[in-house]
Amino acid sequence: MKTLAYLTLWVVALMFSSLTTQAQLDPEKVCRIDNGQLIFTLNLKWTEKEKKEISILFDLDSALIAQVYSGKTSITIGNENWKAKKLQANLVELSKAVQTKADKNIKANDLFLVIDSWTNFPGNTTESTAIYGVNNFEVSNAFVYSSNTAKFYLPGYKSAQKVYISGTFNNWSTTQTPMKPTGNGWMIDLKLKPGKYAYKFIADGRWMTDPSNKLRERGDAGAYNSVVYCYNHLFELKGYKNARKVVVTGNFYNWNPRGLAMNPTSDGWSLPMYLRDGTYAYKFLVDGDWMTDPANKELRADASDNMNSFIGIGEPYLFKLDGFITTKKVVLTGSFNGWNENELVMNKTAKGWQLPYVVSAGNYEYKFIADGKWMIDPANPFTSGSGDTQNSFIALKANHIFELSQSLNAKSVIVTGSFNGWNTQGYRMIKQGGKWILPIYLQPGKYTYKFIVDDNWILDPANKLYEQNEYSTNNSVLWVEPAK
């Protein structure tokens, strides 16, 4: 049933568009369903590459697109009858009925199953851009998270025949995760990693946000989704039971003195929350008075010589500087800590200096300061910039490697693109294994890029995907898919 294939691809494209915010062609603006019609809005100024991208994304016959661009208003491809209507000088609306004779008996649940066959793959996707999060439920038992198990509870809806939960944790599947009826509502236990998740309930086919959850945000389609955080850290402060208000704040909250309110306990104050992998400085405010965490011995001075408590969430990366035995003090500094010159004092070892430091997945620049002298990492061949602004470069949890197998006699090869603001002094590649390489971490989405070989800009010769730019010189295109 070709119509179902189109509709399925449309839904897949809408989900995919949430991961491609940098894409020039927005699937959600190209395709929609309205009053039983499957409608595509095509731009007559699109390049051949852009037409091909739309054709592949929505499984549209290239002959169909070609006839639209030739000016035809009524087109038949196979058993499908399409209508083309000009909206503006450069916009054409291409439409067909969603329900044809071949699929007139299709029910909503059948459609859900077809969609699931495309989108329902194992996954446990978290929102990696969320630095921190605290839940806000009106009903205390509406959500409970413990030992990597999330318990969702939907009170009421006793007359519903079926209730499902759908969200980023199951790729918005409509049938994969049915909830179980209880005496007073519906429940489900899900194995989830710590992180941020968006979700909704589906009660007898009707989508709705969680009525017990005050946290909501707009999704890519414009509708609201409920948001929940699976916690991985507990801030605790023992004592101070006579305090009127205790809050915690830190670099994860931009040091806002309003802070995040902690809850009174039998022996003090606590606040469970989610923190993305990384290293965080923090303090408590007890009735407005600042204080470090008395239970945490990890203290460091900031740029103003104020002492802060520190915690690391996730696995640390071991920064090392071999040698420099006679050096009295070595400091690690970089883009991961705002280039603070005195915060990260390294530990002296028999072979040199080292410091374990937790940093979330990403691309970072850094240097060492050895007795006041700034220097790049002599053991790291990857750098960014040049001259006095040259820094060591590291990609933690790299998920892509740029490669160039030619120009091996070049003195310098730089990769630049939309991922670093087209910085012409940015990420320098190195020769290894008979080619130029650069490992990098990129969020899921679409990126454009080029290589700069001895000041000459070139497309990636190994990548056939490219698109036109404002200079008519084209850019290579890279799509990074979310990890499964």
pTM: 0.65
What would be the CATH architecture of the domain defined by 233-313? Sandwich (2.60)
Checking if the pLDDT of 14 tops 80, the result is no
Spans of all domains in the chain: 2-117, 132-230, 233-313, 317-391, 400-480
CATH of 132-230, one of 3.30.565.10, 2.60.40.10, 3.50.30.50, 2.60.40.420: 2.60.40.10
Checking if the pLDDT of 307 tops 70, the result is yes
Phi, psi (rounded to 5 degrees) for 456:
-100, 125
The percentage of residues in the chain with a pLDDT greater than 70, rounded to a whole number, is 85
Q: CATH topology for 400-480?
A: Immunoglobulin-like (2.60.40)
Q: CATH topology for 317-391?
A: Immunoglobulin-like (2.60.40)
Ordered DSSP codes for 207-232: EE--TTB--EEE-TTS-EEEEEEE--
Checking if the pLDDT of 434 tops 50, the result is yes
- Rounded mean pLDDT of 283-312? 92
Q: Which amino acid, residue 13?
A: A
Handedness of CA 259, 260, 262, 263 (dihedral sign): positive
Rounded to 5°, angle at Cα 468 from 466 and 469? 120
> Fold identical between 132-230 and 233-313?
yes
| Extended beta strands in 314-372, E state | 317-322, 330-334, 344-345, 347-348, 352-357, 362-370
* Torsion of Cα atoms, 117 then 123 then 124 then 125, to 10°: -80
Quickly tell me which residue has 């010189």 as its tokens. Answer: 473
DSSP state of 184: S
- Rounded mean pLDDT of 126-132? 74
Instruction: Give 358-407 pLDDT, tens digit per residue.
Output: 998 999 999 999 999 999 999 999 999 888 889 999 999 999 999 999 99
**Dist CA 130 CA 195 (whole Å):** 8
